Amino acid sequence: MVIEFLIKLVQGIGIGALALATGLLFGGIARKIMARIQRRYGPPFTQNFIDLFKLFSKSSVSHGWAFDLGLVAGFAPMLAALMFLPIGSFTLLPSDSSLIMIIYLMMMAYLGMAMGVLASGNPNSAIGMSRALMLMAGYEVPFAAVIFSVYLFSKTGYLTQIVAMQSGGFMNWNMVKMPLGFLAVEIALQGMLGEKPFDQAIAPAEIASGPMVELGGKYLGFGMIQHSVGLFLETGIVVDLFLGGAPNFWIFIAKQFVLYFIVVLVDAILPRLRVHEATSFFWKLPLFLGILQALIVIIQGGVINV
């Protein structure tokens, strides 16, 4: 019993480290891609690892216990959500409600971060956080509609089973079976990752990087870790829901990277929207696609007879 627990603990730490390394690598490659689009040479793709190392070697200043606690409360739910995510063929904690669990924990992470950065008392971080939460109210609605249709389609909330139902080739993927839902999630993912045109929360030239304004040194390092793990988690859940999961870890991160690559390309060409424009956009096109998909699933699946 104790041995089993210890093995799970070590595996959990391993998954966390792997997610962090993948997220940092993706971020570094994205910087390189962005540089090449702008006809620059760009930093080395390991730059994010160097930045993280440097941040943890700096001194840092705290803004009270709520500030410290908020960073932990922002990071811990992300790690917890990773434990329920099927990564390749491996799931640390199989649970028959893992989908709901992950959605819930992802939202908790944002609320934890909000508590932390608002404790700093800087008006810019308050503006940034209010924008982040308003944007969340935007993209969570179409995302929830799509989750609802996946739930109805697969008749289960067990992610491993959803992945298993998509096995056996490209035509079985939910992306092909529910194209409208996939499109809605792809747009919502842009908002979740905070890339342009939905980067209102961390607009650097406008509100001095918003929530991160008072984070320095090790605290900013924690923010970077949180962003990287969040990147892994949010692309990972879309891979599991729509791209048929993966038989092993390498194919899993390859599929994640394809998703992230699209996000980066869109980020490179679009300007920033205003926050109310972004939210109302999420409540129009992606929500319409999501609800349409849910209706199609309901009619096809015979949940109600028309």
Binding site for another protein (CB under 8 A): 31, 35, 38-44, 47, 50-51, 53-54, 57-61, 204-205, 208-209, 212-217, 220
Q: Are 208 and 124 in contact (CB under 8 A)?
A: yes
Q: How far is the CB of 130 from another protein (least distance, A)?
A: 18
CB closer to another protein out of 8 and 54: 54
CB closer to another protein out of 168 and 204: 204
CB closer to another protein out of 40 and 284: 40
Question: How far apart are the C-alpha atoms of 80 and 9, rounded to whole Å?
Answer: 12
Q: How far is the CB of 31 from another protein (least distance, A)?
A: 7
For residue 173, give the nearest of 153, 187, 156 by alpha carbon: 153
Question: How far apart are the C-alpha atoms of 117 and 223, rounded to whole Å?
Answer: 10
Fill in the amino acid letter for 140.
Answer: E
Fill in the amino acid letter for 8.
Answer: K
Q: How far is the CB of 44 from another protein (least distance, A)?
A: 8
For residue 217, give the nearest of 54, 64, 71 by alpha carbon: 54
Q: Are 84 and 98 in contact (CB under 8 A)?
A: yes
CB closer to another protein out of 119 and 175: 119
Question: How far apart are the C-alpha atoms of 90 and 78, rounded to whole Å?
Answer: 18
Question: How far apart are the C-alpha atoms of 124 and 119, rounded to whole Å?
Answer: 12
CB closer to another protein out of 211 and 244: 211
CB closer to another protein out of 101 and 201: 201
Q: How far is the CB of 67 from another protein (least distance, A)?
A: 12
Q: How far is the CB of 98 from another protein (least distance, A)?
A: 36
Q: How far is the CB of 78 from another protein (least distance, A)?
A: 21
Residue keyed to tokens 């129009």: 284
Q: Which stretches of the chain are DSSP H helices?
A: 2-37, 47-56, 65-82, 98-118, 123-154, 159-165, 174-177, 179-192, 204-207, 218-242, 249-269, 275-282, 285-301
Q: How far is the CB of 64 from another protein (least distance, A)?
A: 15
Residue 87 sits at φ, ψ, to 5 deg, of -105, 110
For residue 149, give the nearest of 138, 162, 133, 168 by alpha carbon: 162
CB closer to another protein out of 55 and 147: 55
Q: How far is the CB of 21 from another protein (least distance, A)?
A: 16
For residue 84, give the nearest of 68, 103, 65, 71 by alpha carbon: 103
CB closer to another protein out of 37 and 141: 37
